[in-house]
A and B are shown apart, each in its own frame.
Chain A
Amino acid sequence: MKNQWKWLGLLLLGMPLAGGAQGADPASQAELIQELLARVQKLESRVAELENQPKMQRPANGIVLASMESMSPAGATMESLQSGMQASGTASGQGTDAQPAYPSLKLAGFSDFNFSATDLKGSRSGFTEGQFILHLTSALSSKVNFLSELSATARSDAGTGSPPATGFNFEVERSIIRFEQSDHFKASFGRYHTPINWWNTAFHHGQWLQTSISRPEMTQFGGRLIPVHFVGGLVEGTVPLSGLNLNYNAGLGNGRGSVISRGGDAGDNNNNRAWLVNLFAKPDRLFGLVVGGSVYRDKITLASGREFREWITSGHIVWQKENPELIAEFANVNHQEAGRENTFNSQAYYVQVAYRLPWFENLWKPYYRFEYIHIPRSDAVFQGVPNLAGSVVGLRYDISSFAAIKAEYRNQRRLPGQPHGNAGFLQTSFTF
């Protein structure tokens, strides 16, 4: 191909040069050579362009405007299909019609399968099916978006009958409609993962997105230490602030339900709304660094009727690159019963480090995490929430751009003096 262009260029060159050498003056010859040089450059660029074409077939009917997501195994999204149809119009001579169509529903998903073996009493080894997650996004206009995350979770008691059969528990994890005025101000309503914990809002239910198999216990789904879900409204935005890039979230919502691991989905159980403020910076000078903190305030009404004021303060520092990756978070949960002076402080933190090895095509990523939880015995709100001091060490292998195999070993101790428990896990997680 390249040789053909060269010969064509040579022919084009040869004809005017041969003629010009006999009759034209030197000035016009110089101009001609400049013009030919430009033409050769253009031809060379075009040849390089053709050579660099990806192996995938370029659509025969002209332009197809695909989104990044269409590069995923999920294949053509609604957006790319619609854009493709518009592009067909382009090919028929109407010019480039690349205006977006609304609503533009896009669908993606995550899932995982696991095997575990442990020496803990009462636990059994075997396979478990992870969560099946569907993620829907739809732009309703240039400034309005809707997002939803749905989960189906295998449970031993989700079926019918007595005793209950195994089955799947369906849940709307997130459902958010967002109005985007600008980068500085966005307002939304819905059900969120509470933005007072970095892990909770970075990975959600996408097991494939996180390096490790397990979430830190302080932010475990179904856990009670921090409220994982939040139902209400949120404003958020970014302020450049001299390269500091300060991001904010401020929210007002229902807070915890009577079962404190659950949000107030069907309404608040008291007349006090929970509120939160989350601030974090992503400085220009340290590309990859995220550092921030949050406060969360709620009034909890337990099923027994006892009421507690809750203050949560938390902080995080994250190095988002993979050579190395660092995630460290801390949270303090303060409870005070109404009409009493005693306060109880529960603390939890974890530090996770990982490193994507530069060999074997960057497919291997070992990781280690230490985590710690301390709950005062007399904290009535956290009765039954166990302490923890434990380590997690594992290895992630990216079998494709969209699937990973992970192996993990956990060593945990619930109380000082108690024996350590050991467990091994294997997981394949993926997005589709």
Chain B
Amino acid sequence: MKQLSHRLQYAAVLLIACLVVGRCPAAAQSASDVAIVAHPDVPIDNLSLADLRKIFMGDRQFWSSNLRITLLIRAPVARERNVVLKTIYQMTEAQFRQYWISKVFRAEAASGPKIVYSNDMATELIGGIPGSIAFVDAAQVPPNVKVLKANGLLPGEKGYPLR
């Protein structure tokens, strides 16, 4: 009983410290990961980083012959967008824009990714657009959304590549 009381005291102190400092260690861990979320009908549970790159570069445009991929990406400044640009595209913001203008001009894609302005908007649209895929803060993934593994790992797991 005494040990439990100590633990509770530690938790309370930690909680107050978190509020004062403005960030909890656990929250920092989950907030640093970016989850790949997809419409429930997407017939894949795991994507390698190379697959993710092909999809978000527009080189792969179909999940299957009947299901086209719809890319959703956060508007500039969002951390999720920065993670995607750095990890997946390996491009700066300017290079990313030029890449998609060029891609459409070459007729290699009918349009660029759709822009979303918040994680809530991304997850809401993910539920409404068949074949859609997006990146959202792992701490804000609602329970009804399909989370895909990256290189066989889920957000929070050691070695997860999108953070």
Contacts and interface: CB of A to CB of B under 8 A. Distances in A.
B75 A44 contact: no
A2 interface: yes
B94 A398 contact: yes
Contacts of A99: 129
A2 B107 CA distance: 45
Nearest to B124: A96
Interface string B106-131: 11001111111111010011011100
A238 interface: yes
A65 B122 CA distance: 10
Interface in B29-60: 30-31, 50, 53-54, 59-60
Given A37-B15, A40-B19, A40-B24, A178 B128 contact: no
B102 A206 contact: yes
A72 B114 contact: no
Nearest to A135: B105
Interface string B1-16: 1001101100110010
Given A53-B117, A63-B125, A67-B115, A180 B61 contact: yes
B111 A139 contact: yes
Contacts of A64: 117
Interface in A86-103: 95-99
Interface string A266-286: 000000000000000010100
Interface in B86-113: 90, 92-95, 97-98, 100-102, 104-107, 110-113
Given A40-B18, A63-B124, A209 B114 contact: no
Contacts of A362: 92, 94
A65 B73 CA distance: 11
B92 A44 contact: no
B117 A58 contact: yes
B65 A67 contact: no
Contact of A71 (B60, B78, B97): B97
A183 B110 contact: no
B59 A245 contact: yes
B125 A69 contact: no
B162 to A, nearest CB: 16
Given A30-B8, A52-B79, A63-B125, A201 B106 contact: yes
Interface string B123-142: 01101110000000101100
Please list the 4 inter-chain residue pairs (A to B) with the smallest Cβ-Cβ separation, ordered nearest first.
Answer: A68-B112, A96-B128, A284-B50, A182-B65
13 contacts: A26-B1, A37-B15, A44-B23, A56-B75, A72-B101, A79-B111, A96-B125, A98-B125, A137-B107, A176-B107, A181-B65, A284-B54, A398-B94
Interface of B: 1, 4-5, 7-8, 11-12, 15, 18-19, 22-24, 26-27, 30-31, 50, 53-54, 59-62, 64-65, 68, 73, 75-79, 90, 92-95, 97-98, 100-102, 104-107, 110-119, 121, 124-125, 127-129, 137, 139-140
Interface of A: 2, 6, 9-10, 13, 17, 26, 29-30, 33, 36-37, 40-42, 44-45, 48-49, 52-56, 58, 63-72, 79, 83, 95-99, 104, 106, 108, 135, 137, 139, 142-143, 145, 147, 149, 174, 176, 178, 180-183, 201-204, 206, 209, 238, 243, 245, 282, 284, 287-288, 321-322, 362, 398, 401-402, 431
